[in-house]
Amino acid sequence: MPSALLQPRAEPGHVLPALAGGAVCLLALPLFLVAGWPLKGWALAAVLYGVVHALDYVLARSGAGNGGRVFGVFFKSIGLLVVLIVAAASDKDVAIAAVLTYAAAYTCELGLSLATYYGKEPIR
């Protein structure tokens, strides 16, 4: 009998975790305003988070098979990395703010996705 962690489960929804990550992005704005951190970094993170999820939506609705979705994940990762490297080359403070904000939103989304996935009963 395999471990309970290794048993497959139904794929959870993507909307609630994405909205929670977006809420983290929005809640970071007052922190940026009070702390005096660069708003360009917050805006870059918020735009990147929105674009990544828009691409997710387009890929999910396009009917692309697993190969298309894998390419989409690769493209999103490389695109995100390129934008953040360009931002770091032009203004490191903006890039650091963007990376930390995006990482907080993504961590929230990932944690909620994992909790939702492992909260379901395994497929028998």
pTM of the predicted protein model = 0.88
Q: How many CB atoms lie within 10 A of CB 45?
A: 28
Q: At 2, is the pLDDT very low, low, confident or very high (cuts 50, 70, 90)?
A: low
Q: 69 exposed, middle or buried (CB, 10 Å; 0-12, 13-18, 19+)? A: middle
pLDDT in tens, 73-97: 899 999 999 999 999 999 999 999 9
pLDDT in tens, 98-107: 999 999 999 9
